[in-house]
Amino acid sequence: MGENDVIVETRNLVKIYGDGAQVRALNGVNMRVVRGEFISVMGPSGSGKSTLLNMIGALDRPTSGQVLVNGQDLGEVRDLDGFRARTVGFVFQLHNLIPTLTARENVEVPMVGQPVGRAERRRRAEELLALVGLADRMDHLPAQLSGGERQRVAIARALANRPSLVLADEPTGDLDSRSGAEIIQLMRRLNRELGTTFILVTHDPAVARQTERVLVMKDGRIVREHHVGTPFEEDLKAFRDSGLGQAILAGDDVARDLLTPEEYEVLLRLLRRIAQ
Ligand SMILES: Nc1ncnc2c1ncn2[C@@H]1O[C@H](COP(=O)(O)OP(=O)(O)OP(=O)(O)O)[C@@H](O)[C@H]1O
Ligand SMILES: [Mg+2]
């Protein structure tokens, strides 16, 4: 892994909120994200997920430690607004679209103030809306769109300035599970087609499972990391090939005697899942 392959790195990142009753929201976070990755951050409420995303996106400054994006130390960047506009796209749980602007106009907003002419702005917004499957909804106001469609507009908006990095905080939190799954699939497709790096914060294990790597936070630290589709599956395969695994799959009485009915059912279901 060359240094150029790392798009985000944090070094001993600490964030303390408040003066009196202080909250140590981040307590020494060290992480690296490789360019083009599609990763998620999970963890209990209050564990520091949003705070971490806000530091990476330069929405707020750390108390100590460093954030490097594209090799650049954010503590040394003078024009943070410019950095955000050029490099990072944000997607939030509540899409934050401007209610009086159409879908197309909402996607154009981040390009205002950038060196992009009016006609080019419009062309890019239309292209992005087509990319997220909303070619026939360009002139709709947010109130005239479904929740999933609004979130797709928010994704198109996040991509407006062709960022190398998209940060999404609970992007499916406000959607039903089907629309949520569609949004994740859309992000995954954009990740593959455009090479954009995605970091998603989520509570939902079904969402995390669709990402390549899951960072698990607790009390302001990253306490675990899962490579989805490798170690968990590997563990299950090893178990499947063990004596007990084989006995369960064979419906052997020994396995039933050793386990409670609940345990037996759960293990059988897991083993069948990887057998497919
Ligand atoms: N602006 C703030 N001022 C003071 N404390 C804050 C502020 N923002 C967050 N905190 C505290 O920092 C800790 C981490 O908050 P954060 O929002 O990062 O958690 P989270 O993991 O995103 O939680 P959730 O899953 O509920 O969104 C919490 O204890 C929270 O109360
Ligand atoms: Mg949060």
pLDDT tens digits for range 58-117: 999 999 999 999 999 999 999 999 999 889 999 988 778 999 999 999 999 999 988 899
Task: Show the ligand 1 pocket: residues with CB < 6 angstroms.
Answer: 17-18, 23, 25, 43, 45-51
Query: Is pLDDT above 90 for 174?
Result: no
> For 65-75, how does the pLDDT look when each residue is reduced to its tens digit (9 = 90+)?
999 999 999 99
CA-nearest residue, atom 25 of ligand 1: 45
CA-nearest residue, atom 29 of ligand 1: 46
* Closest atom, ligand 1, to C-alpha of 54: 18
CA-nearest residue, atom 31 of ligand 1: 46
Q: What is the mean pLDDT of residues 211-223?
A: 96
CB atoms < 10 A from the CB of 65, how many? Answer: 17
CA-nearest residue, atom 6 of ligand 1: 17
What residue ranges define each of the domains in the chain, with the CATH number in brackets? 3-227 (3.40.50.300), 231-275 (no CATH)
Averaged confidence pLDDT in the chain: 91
Best mean pLDDT range from 41-55, 165-179, 251-265: 41-55
The torsion defined by the Cα of 119, 122, 125 and 129, in degrees rounded to 10, comes to -130
Separation of alpha carbons 123 and 211, rounded Å = 31
Q: Shortest CA distance to 207 belongs to which of 188, 233, 232, 234?
A: 188
**Beta strands 72-73 and 64-69: pairing type?**
antiparallel
Quick one: pLDDT at residue 180? 87
Question: The whole model's pTM is what?
Answer: 0.83
Instruction: Provide the edge-to-edge strand list for the sheet that holds 6-17.
Output: 23-34, 6-17, 64-69, 72-73
276 pLDDT tier (thresholds 50, 70, 90): low
227 pLDDT tier (thresholds 50, 70, 90): confident
- Mutate which of 24, 51, 169, 221 for ligand 1 pocket (most atoms within 8 A of beta carbon): 51
Q: Shortest CA distance to 228 belongs to which of 211, 241, 245, 215?
A: 211
